[in-house]
């Protein structure tokens, strides 16, 4: 688990990709991340850019690194910031 300033947890897109491949998930939000053990409680999560995506995914999180947002959008997905 990576600690990201102002956020409880950071998750890289390689982790999102692994879950997308294993469970055929294309839409990730806080509930999906919790149900699959990627975050706990009321964590504020930032998606980070390490790794690659093999398909389009839509991700809703509290923040995205520039690299993660670009990787998601380049595959045809959407990065949505929770206000």
**pLDDT tens-digit map of 5-43:** 566 788 999 999 999 999 999 999 999 999 998 888 777
Residue 5: the pLDDT is: 53
Percent of the chain as helix, strand, coil, to the nearest 5: 30, 30, 40
Rounded (10°) angle between helices 13-23 and 66-74: 30
Asked whether the beta carbons of 57 and 25 are under 8 A apart, the reply is yes
pTM of the model: 0.88
């Amino acid at each position: 688990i990576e600690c990201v300033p102002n956020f409880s947890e950071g998750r890289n897109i390689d982790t999102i990709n692994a879950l997308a491949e294993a469970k055929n998930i294309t839409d990730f939000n806080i509930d999906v991340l919790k149900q699959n053990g990627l975050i706990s409680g009321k964590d504020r999560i930032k998606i980070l850019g390490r790794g690659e995506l093999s398909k389009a995914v839509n991700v809703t999180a509290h923040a995205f690194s520039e690299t993660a947002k670009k990787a998601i959008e380049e595959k045809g997905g959407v990065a949505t910031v929770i206000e």
